[in-house]
Structure 1
Amino acid sequence: MALSSDNLQVFLAVLDHGSFSAAARSLRRVPSAVSMAIANLEAELDLQLFDRSGREPRPTDAARSLEPQARLVDAQLKALQVQALGLTQGLESRLTLAIAPELLAAPWSAALAALAAEHPLLEVEVLAAPQADALAMLHTGRAQLALVFERPSLDGREGFQEVSSETLVCVMAPDHPALALAGGRLREEHLINTRQIVVAGRDLASHDPRFAFGRHSWRTDNALAALALISAGLGWGWLPRNLVRPHVAAGSLVEIAFENLSNSLDLWVDVVWSKERPLGLGAQRLVSLIARQRRG
């Protein structure tokens, strides 16, 4: 077959270095071997790739025409070699990251982009799941990593790395009756007796007491759905400030002003893994990249 990985490498080396001898040095071969490889390639393709009439070989139009595709194939071959080496060293065939929906805007994509640059053929799956569900996926092996808020207590089965922090705020539609009744400044008892919109897992038994304390609540597993319900005046809820900021600026939501407490809850955001399952090479590297990003 004319175009093998070896003669493709030789062809590109001559293009890059401008001569058979310089290409040979870069490939650690003798010039005659490079010259012969190019001659054999030309014979197989029935094309003249280099004009040898001058002191140094000059690429022909045919060579320049083949160059873009040759470089693409060479890059794909190198990526394939990196992937094959990674698999022998423990690289996963697929890396699944489960993310709490409130954290989809958290700084996780830059580390994933760096991982993709190192392992371009690694298959990655990003799933949005309520925190309880994301952690359940972690412990069943459906996901290798989970991006979630700090947990109320440590779980000995879990390892984690801090990623960033996120501020949650209580928000409500500006025309919600509770605001009018309280004169615009609420106390915690007003929230307890007003419908709360809660982002929670699909298991009805799962709830986080830090976020769910209204006597009457509606549940959703999606932060955007919660945002829509709250904006429609159907209740109040805790949402990330980064998510609600443009809606507050537009006047469709208000951060509730309280009479007797501040309206903010600062939480760490962690990437979590199960200590009961060994992490593959990709997951280990992603955690390392996130740690580096955290250190700045």
Structure 2
Amino acid sequence: MAFTSESLKVFLAVLDGGSFSAAARKLGRVPSAVSMAVSQLEAELDLTLFDRSTRKALPTPAARALEPQARQVAGQLNLLDAHALQLHQGLERRLTLAMAPELQTGAWSRPLATLAREFPTLEIEVRSASQSEAVRMLHEGSVQLALVFERPGIDEREAFLEAGSQLLVAVAAPGYPASGHGVPLGEAQMANARQIIVASGEPTASDPQIVLSHRVWLTDSYLATLDLVQAGLGWAYLPQPLIQPLIASGSLSEVAFDNMASQMRLWVDIVWIKSRPLGLGATRYLELMREQLKTGPRRS
């Protein structure tokens, strides 16, 4: 086999340095050793890779033809070495996060871009789940981290990181009665206006939203809820980052209540199980979230 990791390194060093002496300095070797390695590679390939008629080592057309694939293979070898080191340091094969649908439009996915850059071989899976489903998956061990809204009480099996907040806004289609046409809705009107919420089965106390209506439709995602609201079939609390452009364009209207605010801020926790050590990817995700939250609002 002509090309090895070592001969590949020498070949690229000569290409980059333009001479055997420059390659030798880069590799920490003497020029004669580099020249000998190249000569051996040329003999095994039965190709002339460098023109030695001048003091420089000028690449031949054969060398230039081999260069793109050589650099690709060298990159893959570097990636393999880095992956092996990260596995030794505790990198998990896959990092799985359960995330409430309301949070997928917020800041909680931003650290994933850094993880992709720092750990390019790490598989990342983001599961959309209701509040109760996310917690269930966490305790069953099918996810390492769960991003959920703050819950009453503390489970001693869990550790958590406060992770900012999400603003939900009550909205309706401009023509829907609950939009109020600029007039705040009273309690009786709220109770009779259809509310569309994201929940798994019947709404429970663990769901992050307040149920104000006697007439409720359920969906399993905020995009489905948004479609129903835009179709004029009900009103809903929707994440502010999702609906702000639609309010600005007049496609949605903010619902006004006469006895409460139309906006609801919910605090978010990232939760994991104390008895299960986190891998390198999950640990780094938490570090990135802490850095991101230094300038953000904190709950009182």
TM-score, with structure 2 as normaliser: 0.89
- Conserved? CA contact 1:202–1:221, under 8 Å: no
The equivalent residue for 1:36 is 36
1:258 aligned counterpart, secondary structure: coil
Amino acid aligned to 1:294? L
Secondary structure of 1:190's counterpart equals: helix
Could you say which residue in structure 2 is the equivalent of 1:293? 292
Segment of structure 1 superposing worse, 145-154 or 127-136: 145-154
Matches of 2:27 and 2:166, distance apart in 1: 51
SS of the counterpart of 1:239?
A: strand
Structure 1 unmatched runs, 5+ = none
Q: In the aligned structure 2, how far is the partner of 1:83 from the partner of 1:270?
A: 30
Q: Return closer, same or farther for 1:224/1:59 CA change in 2, 3 Å cut-off.
A: same
Q: CA deviation at 1:289?
A: 1.6
Count residues with an aligned counterpart. 295
Secondary structure (helix, strand or coil) at the match of 1:3 reads coil
Output aligned runs, 1:70-219, within 5 Å.
70-179=70-179, 184-202=183-201, 207-208=206-207, 210-219=209-218
2:240 is aligned to 241
Question: Which residue identity is paired with 1:191?
Answer: M
1:202 Cα offset (Å): 4.8
Match of 1:62 in 2: 62
CA contact (8 A) 2:185 2:257 kept: yes
> Using the alignment, how far apart are the partners of 1:59 and 1:225 within structure 2?
60
SS of 1:124's partner is strand
Change (3 A) 1:93 1:129: same
- CA distance 1:125–1:256, shift in 2 (3 Å): same
Residues 105 and 178 of structure 1, relative CA distance in 2, 3 Å threshold? closer
For 1:179 and 1:122, the matched residues in 2 are separated by: 46
Counterpart code for 2:247: V
CA shift digits 1:101-160 (9 cap, x unpaired): 122121234311211222111111122222222222222111112233333443333223
Q: Distance in 2 between matches of 1:105 and 1:179?
A: 24
Give the drift of 1:87: 1.5
Using a 3 Å threshold, how does the CA distance of structure 1 residues 229 and 80 change in structure 2: closer, same or farther?
same
Displacement after TM superposition at 1:215 (Å) = 2.4
Separation in 1, partners of 2:94, 2:40: 40
In the alignment, which residue of structure 1 is the partner of 2:18?
A: 18
Structure 1 runs, 4 residues or longer, greater than 6 Å off: none
- Contact kept, 8 Å, 1:200 with 1:206, in 2: the verdict is no
Partner amino acid, structure 1, of 2:274: K
Look up the SS of the partner of 1:167 in the other structure: strand
Contact (CA 8 Å) 1:201, 1:207: kept in 2 or not?
no
Shift of residue 189, structure 1, vs aligned partner: 4.0
Distance 1:49 1:109 in 2: 48
Distance 1:163 1:32, change over 3 A: farther
Contact 1:200/1:207 (CA < 8 Å) preserved in 2?
no
In structure 2, C-alpha distance between the alignment counterparts of 1:204 and 1:268, rounded to whole Å: 19
Asked if 1:253 corresponds to 2:248, the answer is no
Cα 1:228–1:124 shift into 2, 3 Å: same
Distance in 2, Cα, partners of 1:63 & 1:196: 69
Report sequence identity in percent. Answer: 56
**How far apart, CA to CA, are the structure 1 residues paired with 2:146 and 2:178?**
37
Per-residue deviation at 1:203? Answer: 7.0
Q: Secondary structure at the match of 2:107?
A: coil
- Show structure 2 runs of 5+ residues with no match: 296-300
Matched letter for residue 81 of structure 2:
Q
